Amino acid sequence: MFVYLGVLVGMAGPIGMMVQHDLRDWAQRQKKCHDFLLHGSKILKDGWWQLNCDLSLKYPPKFTIEEEVSKNKFYLFIEKYWLVQQLVIAIPLYLLGGVSWLVWGVSVRVVVSVGGHWLIGYFAHNHGQRTWTVEGAAVQGHNIRIAGFLSMGEAWHNNHHAFPGSAMLGLYKDEPDPGWWVLNALHNLGIVKNIKLPKELPHRSELVTEATDLERRVERVPKECEIANFIRRNS
């Protein structure tokens, strides 16, 4: 394994993100995992690594992306012109408010969103509540309750590690999950299909329940969305 500390360039489109996520996901399920991939360093060092560096493996695992994704023209367009896409927001902001609106609406927004994503990831792999443990995995996810709403559900990371194929991350009614609310509405409208939930995923023998209060907790289930119903009635 060879660590290359350089500027992370590109990899901003959906295909690049899939490769990065799959590499990290694969590594975290092994018995041992490099500190870069498990957020295993002190917070300042990990921040520098994650926001400025890349990890280059001498013998990387091979990931084969389905052709319906790897050859999809829409995804390829986003992958190639991700930087140009900022103009869709940048031009109106500049025309409305000048340079200050441009800086806050584009530069600061990107810095805050990317930095915030890393910060949630750092704490979600090191601190917080756990409902389940994945035996044999080098990394365990943690639920960061205070950030569940702000992160669109991303902070329910123990749930994600337990059921990585689930479209729902906040699995109980006391776990706010705005990302699921959006998916549920789109599913009601017929725009999003083939949604998978924990009960529809294959059994995992390595998944062990750690919490002692599951019987008292109320599971979240798909339901009719009032906004989606309103749109259907008026379309």
- Listed in sequence order, the DSSP H helices in the chain are 14-28, 35-38, 43-52, 67-70, 73-80, 87-102, 109-124, 157-162, 178-188, 226-233
Asked if pLDDT for residue 23 goes beyond 90, the answer is: no
**In the numeric block, which tokens belong to residue 73?**
């023209």
The confidence score (pLDDT) of residue 235 equals 67
Asked if pLDDT for residue 226 goes beyond 80, the answer is: no
Q: How confident is the model at residue 6 (pLDDT cuts 50, 70, 90)?
A: very low
Q: What percent of the chain is modeled with pLDDT above 70?
A: 93
- Which phi and psi (to 5°) does residue 209 adopt? -70, 130
The confidence score (pLDDT) of residue 15 equals 72
Q: How confident is the model at residue 7 (pLDDT cuts 50, 70, 90)?
A: very low
Q: What is the pLDDT of residues 189-216, one digit of tens each?
A: 888 888 999 999 999 999 999 999 988 9
Which helix (H) or strand (E) segment holds residue 133: the answer is strand 132-134
The confidence score (pLDDT) of residue 18 equals 79
The confidence score (pLDDT) of residue 12 equals 56
Asked if pLDDT for residue 1 goes beyond 80, the answer is: no
Cα distances (angstroms) measured from residue 117 to each of 33, 142, 215: 20, 15, 32
The confidence score (pLDDT) of residue 222 equals 87
The confidence score (pLDDT) of residue 229 equals 74
Q: Considering the chain, what is the average pLDDT of its residues?
A: 87
CA 9 from centre of chain: 20
DSSP at 219: B
